Amino acid sequence: MRKQPFLDCLNDHVLLCDGAMGTMLYERGVYINRCFDELNISNFGLIKQIHLEYIQAGADIIETNTFGANRLKLSPHGFKKKVKEINYEGARIARAVAQDQVYVAGSIGPLGKPVEPFGSISQSEARSIFLEQAEGLVQGGVDLFMLETFGDINEIRQAILAIREICDKPIVAHMTFRNEGVTLMGVPAETAAISLDKWGADVIGANCGVGPQPVFDAIQRISTVTDKKISAQPNSGEPKLIDGRVIYMTSPEYYASYAKRFLRAGVSLIGGCCGTSPEHIRRVRAVIKAIRPTSERIQIQIPKKSEILEARPTSMSEKSELARKVSEGRFVVSVELVPPRGLSTKTIIKRAARLKASGVDAVNIPDGPRATARMTPMATALLIKKQIDIEVLLHYCCRDRNLLGMQSDLLGMEALNLRNILVITGDPPKLGDYPDATAVFDIDSIGLTRMVSRLNHGLDIAGNSIGRQSSFFVGVGANPAAIDFDREVDRFHQKVEAGAEFALTQPVYKTTYLQRFLERIQPVKIPILVGILPLVSYRNAEFLHNEVPGMAIPDDIRHQMSQAGSGKQGRDQGVKIARDALIAAKDMVQGVYIMLPMGRLEMALEVLEAV
């Protein structure tokens, strides 16, 4: 342990806690129905690596992977009798990583079932459950306790009482507050803070919630009623629920901007909750150093993965013919061919042959576009590649498969030499032909890009070697006309950081949006293929603009289509608009991706005459 006791150190310095553990495990392929706490036993190497990454990011405190390691939450997974073992191992792993440089906090979260008077769990039973967990953590060597995400003041009191029965180690007690500054049970922040102070919490704070702003509001109110040190550990913004999958939106930069406000408000302990990562913590460390510089910290050196497990990625030029052309700076042309609804592939094969004869570099095979049921794109791509000998760019979405299924598909694609892949999140099923179909969305396009990148380094989703590296040429989507433009730019940067090597845009009709996007993503420079979708009619334009997610057709373009009328005049005007957009964008990008309007190949070929 450090020579200076935790509370003494906190009196002299602002301390930085780590970020989310569950988020990191989720991103690395641990299934959401898995017991995360049990990984202390079955995959301690993964837990150790995450601890190390947070220390490298600048954390002064790491929390044990034991947030849900109580008998009520472990019981459904069959680990009810392993409470002490899981908590002991969680503390032991963190202690071994922290050495004598970083504090170890024993993480304890709510029981998962309401305590009386709101629920059937008696207060004495709740205390007994917390006591069992705390004993394992103390035996494992924690320096302090971190009580997190409690919404019931009665429940957190039992946790404090349980810890005090066995030790006098410091307790950091967090409540979770709603936007109104009250707990989930309706207790005001001031009232909660007074109670926590009276019950013996050494540090009082707020964590999780719906992002930095509500936590900031809560700690301002807490500071008016207590002289105890204050902790602020918000999550990474308000999560967005997409078909049952929670996605956090706040960027590390925005998160760090709130760290400045926390420091100026007198917060002594800052950390992160759900959705935060080592990058969030690294940004906060920079803020702390700038505002309150301290003596130089001793860093624990983390061996580079490449020195231990990772294989050297294949160079871009060797991945595929398409990748070679892109790496050489050539302007590439790709045209979309949608897989058939039935068994016959005669039409799509003929179309692919015609595109090859027209000089097209690659055929794009979408994956269940607009959530429709069609032949698997992998089979379609393989048939085209074998019969026509043209490069295929295979779209792959996150909607229909869980993490295990995705990895299996990717391994199969590598074995079949289908190397060009466009990673997309996918449209919700309710948009398509089968609105009652379910969606998976274990991860989004950022997580899937990271998964493919790991395979390109010879590692599976759990960090195990796959024998050799895959050679995927990894593309992602981009929407220059996104309504939430800042979020689109932020997600694009995350995709590139995750391993994206090129990008395809949503259909562009005016280069104003494209130019703005290209300027904002600087200094990131990966090849961009501009998306072009000719309009067939005014009705078609209105449908795409109003009913297709991600599509935005400028008002003046829709007006032009309205003036052109229907039939051949509308079609010709749609081709002209598309050609003009392509000509204007050509010098800004490294390729074009033509989508067929209602399956009309002729219109795509007419547009391509522009290049």
Which residues does residue 150 pair with via DSSP β-bridges, in sequence order? 175
Q: In this structure, what are the phi and psi dihedrals at residue 203, rounded to the nearest 5 degrees?
A: -135, 135
Q: Give the pLDDT confidence score for residue 308 in this predicted structure.
A: 38
* Cα 445 from Cα 448, distance rounded (Å): 5
Q: Give the pLDDT confidence score for residue 430 in this predicted structure.
A: 44
Residues listed for the chain: 611
Ranges of residues in the chain with a pLDDT under 70 are 1-3, 117-119, 237-250, 292-310, 368-372, 427-443, 461-463, 549
* Cα 327 from Cα 84, distance rounded (Å): 54
Tens digit of each residue's pLDDT (9 = 90 or more) over 124-164: 999 999 999 999 999 999 999 999 999 999 999 999 999 99
* Cα 494 from Cα 488, distance rounded (Å): 10
* Cα 60 from Cα 98, distance rounded (Å): 9
Kindly give the residue spans of alpha helices, DSSP state H, lying in 426-510. 445-456, 485-498
* Cα 274 from Cα 229, distance rounded (Å): 22
Q: Give the pLDDT confidence score for residue 533 in this predicted structure.
A: 93
Q: Give the pLDDT confidence score for residue 310 in this predicted structure.
A: 64
Q: Give the pLDDT confidence score for residue 297 in this predicted structure.
A: 36
Q: Could you tell me the CA-to-CA distances from 475 to 25, 326, 439, 495, 563 in Å, in that order?
A: 24, 12, 22, 9, 37
Which residues does residue 505 pair with via DSSP β-bridges, in sequence order? 478
Amino acid (one-letter) located at 173: A
Q: Would you identify the CATH topology of the domain 317-478?
A: TIM Barrel (3.20.20)
* Cα 87 from Cα 67, distance rounded (Å): 9
Cα torsion angle, 178, 182, 187, 193, sign: positive
Q: What angle do CA 394, 398, 400 make, to 5 degrees?
A: 100
* 144-150, strands of its sheet edge to edge: 15-16, 269-270, 229-234, 203-208, 171-175, 144-150, 103-108, 61-63
Q: Give the pLDDT confidence score for residue 248 in this predicted structure.
A: 58
Which residues does residue 459 pair with via DSSP β-bridges, in sequence order? 465
Q: Give the pLDDT confidence score for residue 428 in this predicted structure.
A: 61
Nearest alpha-carbon partner for 446 in 28, 19, 22, 21: 28
Domain ranges of the chain: 6-300, 317-478
Can 6-300 and 317-478 be said to share one CATH topology? yes
Tens digit of each residue's pLDDT (9 = 90 or more) over 454-484: 899 998 765 678 888 999 999 999 999 888 8
Centre a 10 Å sphere on the Cβ of residue 454 and count the other Cβ atoms it contains: 25
Q: Give the pLDDT confidence score for residue 544 in this predicted structure.
A: 85
* Cα 268 from Cα 175, distance rounded (Å): 16
Kindly give the residue spans of alpha helices, DSSP state H, lying in 468-566. 485-498, 511-520, 538-547, 555-564
* Cα 611 from Cα 586, distance rounded (Å): 8
Distance of CA 556 to the CA centre of its chain: 36
What 3-state class would DSSP assign to 41?
A: helix
- Which listed CATH number (3.30.565.10, 3.40.50.800, 2.40.50.140, 3.20.20.330) goes with 6-300? 3.20.20.330
What tokens appear for 236 in the block? 């990474």
What tokens appear for 84 in the block? 């002490």
Peptide bond into 117 cis (omega under 30): yes
Peptide bond into 597 cis (omega under 30): no
Q: Which residues contact 275 (CB under 8 A, 6 or more apart)?
A: 20, 23, 235, 236, 237, 239, 248, 250
Q: Give the pLDDT confidence score for residue 447 in this predicted structure.
A: 79
Q: Which residues contact 546 (CB under 8 A, 6 or more apart)?
A: none
Q: In this structure, what are the phi and psi dihedrals at residue 593, rounded to the nearest 5 degrees?
A: -125, 105
